[in-house]
Amino acid sequence: MKRIVMFEGGVETLTYFSKQMAKRFSELGYSVFFFDLKQEGQSARRLRKFIKPGETVMITFNFQGLEQEAGVYREGIGYVWDEYRIPCYNIVADHPYFYHERLSNLPGDYHHISIDRCHAQYFAEFYPEYAHACFLPLAGTAYDGEEGDMARPVSDRKYDVILTGNYTKLSFFEPYIHWINDEYAAFYRGIIDDLIRKPDETVEQAALRHCRREMGEQPKDMLRIALSKMIFIDLYIRNYWRGAAVRTLVNAGIPVHVVGKGWEELADIECPEKLICHPQTDSAECLRMLADAKVSLNVMPWFKDGAHDRVFNSVLNGAVCVTDRSRYLCEELAEGEGVCYYDLAQLAALPALVKDLLQNEARMQDIIAKGRPKVQAGHTWAVRAGQLDAWMKRGQAEQN
């Protein structure tokens, strides 16, 4: 297969990831067509001219092109992917319970790709009717603008500490917690409390434990529906800890630059002048700012056996990534290899860790020098494209 269909015009970060992969696919000899989700009619006409049956594959993120969009789906006929027997590889950048409603009426040659091994295990257990293609973690990108000197010494960098990502205040989730009645609210609150007490647990571990305690053993199809109604718990807990990490540093007098929406509403800030808010921006600008940062703070969006692109972006752009752990990340990057690890359950120790780094620029330079080659060799979107290329070829050979 030497033709690939990808997508643009949807979520900006997903378009950016796709464009980075497309560069490598082109180097591997593929022709890449980008379907513009903002111009479906025009793109649909061009798509049909691009497709060659038996030579084309579709690669997407988060079900783009698989939501019955007008340009690729016709009522009573179905998807263009089925019409031309095109394999569809869907890289799902969130837990499967976010997409329960979308995991139906999919093309026949659908391949689900997880970015976290816990997600993969959950998908295999609760959605056995679909093929699970592989585990493919998120990856990083080096800023390639005119100012993107990755060798810039720590002493020349503008931002002591930066976090790139949005924040949602916790009160936003209260209507979701109380959406049924007080009894259900207490049930949901119990799950949230467990995840605050035990931040090493996944949401599904805590939620399933509570479900089985309250309802006994239930069929898997009932449990997967129940968990799909609890995605607000995932969002609540990731914002709880993201806010707690930033608050802990700011209240210790450490200036933190936050890039994204919602940070003005972070509560219980004792040193408001230390919280420097920057507006939400695009992926390239986030990379440019990381290339001007000394320390990049990361709080995993509850990926307990995967990695977030923020970690790899930070290291590739010369910032030490201070992050909580995941099993996969610890396998790939040891302490001091681009990263310094902290425990969510011991946030009080975080300010000392960050202050020690900021006072020892030689140590920070050494950490980046040890980590960047490993990330360059194993955790760029070019590497991920190569891995996917090998899997697609293997799949084609097995079909033949």
- Strand (E) or helix (H) holding 133: strand 131-135
Distance CA 195, CA 169 (A): 17
Instruction: Give yes or no for a contact between 56 and 1, defined as CB atoms under 8 angstroms apart.
Output: yes
The reported pLDDT for the residue numbered 145 is 52
Nearest CA to 246 out of 314, 138, 344 is that of 344
Sign of CA dihedral 357, 362, 363, 367: positive
Question: How many Cα atoms are found within 13 Å in the side-chain-facing hemisphere of 275?
Answer: 22
Report the alpha-carbon distance of residue 369 to residue 237 in Å, rounded: 33
- Tokens 């610890």 belong to which residue? 330
CA–CA gap between residue 136 and residue 328 (Å, rounded): 11
Q: CA 326 from chain center: how many Å?
A: 13
In 242-398, the DSSP E strands lie at 256-259, 275-278, 293-298, 320-323, 339-341
Indicate the pTM of the whole model.
0.95
CA distance 80 to 71: 9
According to DSSP, the β-strands at 78-79 and 73-74 are antiparallel
Structure tokens at 157: 């960098």
User: Taking Cα atoms as reference points, which of 112, 121, 126 lies closest to residue 60?
Assistant: 112
Enumerate domains of the chain plus CATH numbers.
3-137+382-399 (3.40.50), 154-170+235-378 (3.40.50.2000), 172-229 (no CATH)
Instruction: Please state, in angstroms and rounded to a whole number, the distance separating the CA atoms of residues 346 and 342.
Output: 8
The residue among 59, 137, 62 whose CA lies nearest residue 102 is 62
Angle at CA of residue 233, ends 232 and 236, nearest 5°: 85
Q: Take residue 18 and report the two structure tokens written for it.
A: 């796709």
Residue 150: its pLDDT value, please?
A: 61
Residue segments in the chain with a per-residue pLDDT below the cut of 70: 1, 133, 145-151, 396-400
Length of the chain: 400
The pLDDT score that the predictor gives to residue 399 is 65
Cβ atoms of 267 and 126 within 8 Å: the answer is no
Provide the pLDDT for residue 387: 95
CB 185 within 8 A of CB 230: no
